[in-house]
């Protein structure tokens, strides 16, 4: 039994067949554990090259762990992390950053989920005041939790601002592939202004793997130890590596993301003009945020699985995935239209 027909999340999708195929392929005999195997070497080398990451790449098991490990390379406990109030880090990680990092998140309301130099600057007033957590890391999400994307120019501006202010820049890249697909740029282009970022496999068609990409060489030394201490060093790492090798094969990572984005675009296009339905955010990846009347939401949720994102604001989130079909989108658009007509 599976989920109701779903625009619930890209992590409700299964795994891409290239991922499972590669996992089966590496299942041959003994291999050195903890990443000493040739597949891990290869996957990390390929990722490192794609990102231009001088500090190397580490595979971990969850998105939360990628964020926490990535940021842990950049700060000490008395230092804080500036992030949008909507950040996954702040909202959806059950306090993992506070517990594991021992640090405070310094949040900024950001209506489109995006930080700007001005928003960051609004949180820098207390530097030097010994009673206040000292901002050290700026954490953005690319794609944001609202499905929006930073442009390359915006990323460069953030990077320059951070450097000029002595801050480090981290990006939660749980949906980084979708951003690259949207922007039509390389992963290295996105990564260039960052100190550390994550690259999500799971929402891109993997079974469960994320990469922590360390751009700066001087941050690399402690990373393997921190990964272990943060309980993310898996012994049979070849099966993590295999997932990325599957996604990297024939650029499936990009094709998966592109397809998901296209399906979101198709969905958004189909919704335009439906009475009562309004897009709440720009559609720049594989997410469509829309507001619609509560009665419509209720009726649609009887048949379809998706999140009511913000109840007072009547905002819902519809996510597409690498395996969303045009037929599925069209059927859903019809359902929304029908609901609008009937309700």
Give, as ranges, the residues between 189 and 248 that touch its own copies (CB under 8 A).
202-203, 207-208, 222, 224-236, 239-240
Our CB check for its own copies shows the closer of 131 and 341 to be 131
Distances (CA, A) of 40 to 37, 234, 240, 254: 6, 12, 8, 20
Selected binder of its own copies within 119, 124, 133, 335 (CB under 8 A): 133
In 3D space, the residue among 222, 196, 216 whose CA is nearest the CA of residue 138 turns out to be 196
Our CB check for its own copies shows the closer of 151 and 222 to be 222
Our CB check for its own copies shows the closer of 13 and 267 to be 13
Single out the segment in contact with its own copies by CB under 8 A; choices: 90-98, 162-170, 185-193, 332-340. Answer: 90-98
What is the rounded distance in angstroms from the CA atom of residue 131 to the CA atom of residue 119?
22
> Smallest distance, Å, CB 101 to its own copies?
8
Our CB check for its own copies shows the closer of 75 and 155 to be 75
> Smallest distance, Å, CB 86 to its own copies?
13
> Smallest distance, Å, CB 302 to its own copies?
16
Does 141 sit near its own copies (CB under 8 A)?
no
Q: How many residues bind its own copies (CB under 8 A)?
A: 77
| x/- track of binding to its own copies for residues 6-25 (CB under 8 A) | x-xx-xxxxx-x--x--xx-
Distances (CA, A) of 287 to 7, 15, 131, 190: 9, 19, 40, 19
Our CB check for its own copies shows the closer of 236 and 255 to be 236
What is the rounded distance in angstroms from the CA atom of residue 309 to the CA atom of residue 315?
5
If phi over 0 gives left and psi between -120 and 50 gives alpha, with beta otherwise, what is residue 251?
left
- Binders of its own copies among 299-318, rule CB under 8 A? 305
3-class state of residue 318 by DSSP: strand
- Binders of its own copies among 46-75, rule CB under 8 A? 61-65, 68
> Smallest distance, Å, CB 27 to its own copies?
5
- Binders of its own copies among 103-132, rule CB under 8 A? 103-105, 130-132
CA 54, 56, 61, 65 torsion-angle sign: negative
Contact 4, 205 (CB under 8 A): no
> Smallest distance, Å, CB 82 to its own copies?
13
> Smallest distance, Å, CB 88 to its own copies?
9
Single out the segment in contact with its own copies by CB under 8 A; choices: 87-95, 148-156, 258-266, 280-288. Answer: 87-95
What is the rounded distance in angstroms from the CA atom of residue 247 to the CA atom of residue 228?
25
311-330 in b/e burial notation, b at 16+ Cβ within 10 A? eeebbbbbbbbbbbeeebbe
> Smallest distance, Å, CB 57 to its own copies?
15
Our CB check for its own copies shows the closer of 48 and 62 to be 62
Our CB check for its own copies shows the closer of 320 and 339 to be 320
Our CB check for its own copies shows the closer of 99 and 163 to be 99
> Smallest distance, Å, CB 184 to its own copies?
27
3-class state of residue 275 by DSSP: coil
Our CB check for its own copies shows the closer of 134 and 339 to be 134
> Smallest distance, Å, CB 109 to its own copies?
11
Measured from the Cβ of residue 152, the count of other Cβ atoms closer than 10 Å reads 16
What is the rounded distance in angstroms from the CA atom of residue 166 to the CA atom of residue 159?
10
What is the rounded distance in angstroms from the CA atom of residue 148 to the CA atom of residue 284?
5
DSSP states along 78-140: TEEEEEETT-HHHHSSTTHIIIII---EEEE--TTS---HHHHHTT-TTTT-TTSPEEEEEEE
**Ranges of H-type helices in 184-237:** 187-191, 223-229
């Amino acid at each position: 039994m599976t989920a109701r027909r779903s625009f619930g999340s890209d992590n409700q999708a299964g795994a891409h067949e290239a991922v499972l195929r590669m996992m089966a392929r590496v299942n041959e005999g003994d291999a050195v554990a903890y990443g000493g195997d040739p597949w891990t070497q290869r996957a990390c080398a390929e990722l490192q090259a794609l990102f231009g990451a001088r500090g190397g790449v580490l595979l971990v098991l969850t998105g939360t762990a990628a964020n926490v490990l990535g940021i842990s390379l950049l700060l000490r406990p008395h230092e804080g992390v500036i992030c949008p109030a909507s950040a996954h880090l702040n909202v959806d990680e059950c306090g993992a950053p506070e517990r594991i990092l021992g640090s405070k998140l310094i949040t900024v309301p950001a209506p489109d989920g995006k930080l700007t130099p001005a928003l960051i600057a609004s949180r820098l007033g207390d530097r030097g005041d010994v009673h206040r957590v000292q901002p050290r890391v700026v954490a953005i999400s690319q794609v944001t939790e609202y499905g929006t994307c930073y442009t390359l120019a915006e990323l460069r501006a953030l990077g320059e601002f951070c450097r000029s202010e002595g801050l480090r820049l981290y990006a939660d890249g749980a949906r980084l592939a979708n951003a690259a697909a949207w922007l039509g740029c390389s992963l290295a282009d996105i990564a260039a202004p960052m100190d550390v970022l994550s690259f999500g496999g799971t929402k891109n068609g993997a079974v469960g793997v994320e990469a922590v990409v360390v751009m700066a060489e001087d941050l690399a030394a402690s990373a393997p130890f921190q990964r272990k201490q943060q309980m993310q060093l898996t012994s049979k790492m070849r099966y993590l590596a295999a997932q990325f090798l599957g996604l990297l094969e024939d650029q499936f990572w990009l094709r998966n993301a592109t397809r998901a984005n296209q399906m979101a675009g198709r969905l958004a296009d189909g919704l335009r003009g439906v009475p009562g339905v309004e897009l709440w955010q720009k559609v720049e990846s594989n997410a469509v945020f829309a507001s619609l009347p509560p009665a419509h939401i209720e009726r649609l949720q009887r048949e379809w699985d998706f999140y009511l994102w913000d109840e007072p604001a009547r905002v819902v989130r519809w996510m597409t995935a690498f395996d969303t079909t045009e037929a599925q989108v069209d059927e859903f658009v019809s359902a929304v239209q029908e609901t609008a007509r009937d309700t």
